[in-house]
Structure 1
């Protein structure tokens, strides 16, 4: 048994949707270390390499306190069945269709997963007592820094106007925040929205830039650098994300406002070209590549934003926490994982 550091561990199970996903996997792994019983829910879709999702899942399933349920959030009966059987007291909804660019070509996936799926979670939380006799004490859910759109004011604060999203992905995440607010106020469900800022790290998503850059570098291919490299991102290490989420679990919003939203970001934007250079250095240090990447500089893509920059003062005030992992440390850990997982590296990690 791990050491219990969350009250939730003693009270009952936590439901984590998207458990085979990048952030979901790392959160579940940390909760299991803390002695928490976790119910993981995921549809294992093929948006990216399913084998990577299965590899994450296999690690979690080594712990007897982890239960996995394969299902789709967009199927109401499947969601209700999980609530009825496992009676979660805390729900962390991380399942979503991710990716700004994919939302341009596959918009329906975002409506089903991010809107209909989250609606089903809210309804299950609303009717939890009827389904299982157990009230949901806290619902935490993934939002995104994408909701800030192309605003010029920095850093991005949760008090800023986010009524002008520039991608369907961002629009669905803002929709989730609005629905959560409504359900909180109508039905007394404490909800916490988590605006994640460009999360990276081991077992990450292959569609993310740092991961796809790595695969292309391994294969000796040219990487595409958009807006001619003139972009800034508040890259946030996944371990910091998990620390922030676990700090919130036992602290649902209270008082007159049962719905809160927080930024979780590194609070320090990095120039894209500096980020790529650090990635190259970390990969070369691990022997994953032996030279810097060939680069093709291109204009900005539709739906992309120039910069992201998280104001985390609310996070510090309410939880005494802010991300601390440097880009060099975080990318160094990713490079070590990549070398180990793919056995580096003749196929670029495509058959890991």
Structure 2
């Protein structure tokens, strides 16, 4: 990744010991020698596997056992992390092992319909779709209905028509994960068997995904990682080796977040505000609804927060355990597009301190 400043300046491992987990099995360089491990994998199985991993990791490195533990993740980690955290709290009732203090979820899938259907308003409010398309996208076939039909291999004619119109207007030359970010032209056009010079944004290398794939497929890099390719010929962003239960996405996890809060675990939900895949509006709605359900009063009214001398985003805090924040100008993967502001958020989260009010 290329930023104005050295990427190391914003690395989260400057603030904490970081442990990155590739999950579920079969993603990244993770693998199983038993091919059946890739069959019918579900959220529940993934949570159990992750719990076993952490149990064994702490047994191998007991010196970290009593350290404050925070778990974070983005996107579908809105399922993975609450389910893992719930198992951790249940395990602690029998044997105290995990000193879990907080959970941070970035642009997370927490409630299928709310999260997915907020996409229409985001598209419309950012000028990506017309008034007429917005109308049919919210009446004839909303996005959650389309995804449900797609995962069941039964897309209706009306949903097919609506999504074709939405796709046509939003354009394949707009990055849905960051609607303000330029796309990697060479990558987009290669899908159409065309050739074009690579275009790179001024601040962010928009072709970093292609470059990452090339980098991780170098033999010397894989040797340095002690990585093995098992069941696949090369590292790819999305592998089809894993048979995942896609309909698990329809099972809400927002209630599990509520259980964590009741257990005294701090929860931060944050949103890169340029992401149309899991837009901030859905996440904000779900957090506010959860606060009302739990009877949590607003302790920090909705306000701006600062990263350096610029507005870093907006935040609202409920009680002393539930927070929502946006990261201004950030994508679905906020630390990639706004590393400095994301680091400020991360620091405040670890310290249990309010986000900076002024520079």
Which structure has the higher relative contact order (CA within 8 Å, separation 6+)? 2
TM-score normalised by L of structure 2: 0.32
Task: Kindly name which structure, 1 or 2, has the bigger radius of gyration based on alpha carbons.
Answer: 2
